[in-house]
Structure 1
Amino acid sequence: MALSDADVQKQIKHMMAFIEQEANEKAEEIDAKAEEEFNIEKGRLVQTQRLKIMEYYEKKEKQIEQQKKIQMSNLMNQARLKVLKARDDMIADLLNDARQRLANVARDPSRYAALMDGLVLQGFYQLLEPKVTIRCRKQDVGIVQAAVQKNISIYKAAVKNNLEVRIDQDNFLSPEISGGIELYNADGKIKVANTLESRLELIAQHMMPEIPVALFGANQNRKFMD
């Protein structure tokens, strides 16, 4: 039995509706799949960027922490240098004060005469030469002559050798010297400096390790002692 035109149109419409429904369902499925893939990719990208950002700021935090440590170390070193300089300045001031007080030694005749005896005899022993030239301040010639006369016999008895001593009155020590003497061998090539200033310097060098301890106490960070 042949279909009428109306039936054919009805079937066509039915088929078109079915196709359209299938197409819509497929489109919705594609949209859902695309949205799901989009969300997955978006999540992946967000997570990747999040990790990159976290890594970036972790690196920045480490850099800042390192810079803080370096800056703190620099500040501590600067503070340590300032403390050391202040200590050195204080020690230098003490030595300068001691140098200024040296002049007082020569103003006490009995004290200065006893000191000169020791400087002369020590100079003899340091040179151990048969001929010695002594230089002193112009105002000390008399006290040096007395010290020489007193100590020549002591020296000769100790070393069993003769000793000829000359006081150089053509070349006196500078008036700026606080006192003491300089001794030379016969040709002037060997010198013993026994001025008050040179003795102070020698004592200061010998006691330099002890001076900071006496002034500031022992260094707690020092592991080894000489």
Structure 2
Amino acid sequence: RVWVHVDIKHMMAFIEQEANEKAEEIDAKAEEEFNIEKGRLVQTQRLKIMEYYEKKEKQIEQQKKIQMSNLMNQARLKVLKARDDMISELLNEARQRLANLAKDPAKYSGLLDGLVLQGFYQLLEPKVTVRCRKQDVQLVQVSNLLICVCVRVCESVLIVNYKYCNTSLSGIELYNADGKIKVSNTLESRLDLMAQQMMPEVRVALFGANPNRKFMD
């Protein structure tokens, strides 16, 4: 009986030891798997955080580029507007000088002669209507150049209307008999035509050549 009792105790001690070792092995494996999984999760979250901030950084950089582009466009528009304002001031000054020229009878009479002559040569019609300012009717009628042009260019010239449609503009307008062909030789129209033709040269003279312009015609 004593022997049996000792044998059972040894067996129980062996089983308990084996169980403890197995438990320790399970604990160690579980700890290892836990550490692996924890490392994997940490690495995954770390990558996610890095991706998040990289994305945010790109968004911020893109926003900076957009804001910079908007600021540059606004600055460019302000420069263009300032240039247009300067050109408008020059044209207004030229208009004022033309208005002053129209107040000088001697100079204005000679100018009207040239405008009438050019208008007749442009129309080359046997009957022409000349429209002018009311105060310019006498200058147009008594112009020796007008009489000369009537004889040389046209068989006959019929001036049927001296009331100009816009009395604020100096110069003349000429029409053929049915009014379908018009030559505008007002000082305003001549200034606009000259400004349109010379605008590229004016811009270069005022602001320098445009480095982005590839073609000069």
TM-score for the superposition, normalised by structure 2: 0.89
- CA–CA separation in structure 2 for the residues paired with 1:55 and 1:47: 12
Match of 1:193 among 160, 184, 189: 184
Aligned match of 2:171: 180
User: Where in structure 2 are the equivalents of 1:71-150 lying within 5 Å?
Assistant: 71-147=67-143, 149-150=144-145
Q: Distance in 1 between matches of 2:204 and 2:191?
A: 19
**After the TM superposition, which segments of 4 or more aligned residues of structure 1 sit over 6 Å from their partners?**
none
SS of 1:131's partner is coil
The reply to whether residue 40 of structure 1 matches residue 54 of structure 2 is no
The residue aligned with 1:14 is 10
Query: What's 2:196 paired with?
Result: 205
Deviations 1:105-127 (A, max 9, x none): 12223321221111010000111
**1:16 Cα deviation (Å)?**
1.6
If you compute each CA radius of gyration, which structure gives the higher value, 1 or 2? 1
- Aligned length in residues: 217
Cα contact 1:125–1:155 (8 A) shared by 2: no
Describe the SS at the equivalent of 1:175.
coil
Counterpart of 1:33, as a letter, is K
Task: State percent identity of aligned pairs.
Answer: 76
Give the drift of 1:58. 1.8
Q: Partners of 2:20 and 2:88 in 1: how far apart?
A: 99
Residues 197-216 of structure 1, C-alpha deviations (whole Å, 9 max, x = no match): 11111111212222222221
Q: Which amino acid aligns with 1:62?
A: K
Give the unaligned 5+ runs of structure 1: none
Root-mean-square deviation (CA), in Å?
2.1
**Equivalents in 2 of 1:62, 1:70: separation in Å?**
12
1:116–1:144 Cα contact (<8 Å) kept: yes
Query: CA shift at 1:153, angstroms?
Result: 2.9
Q: Which amino acid aligns with 1:132?
A: V
Partners of 1:150 and 1:100 in 2: CA distance: 27
Give the TM-score normalised by the residue count of structure 1.
0.86
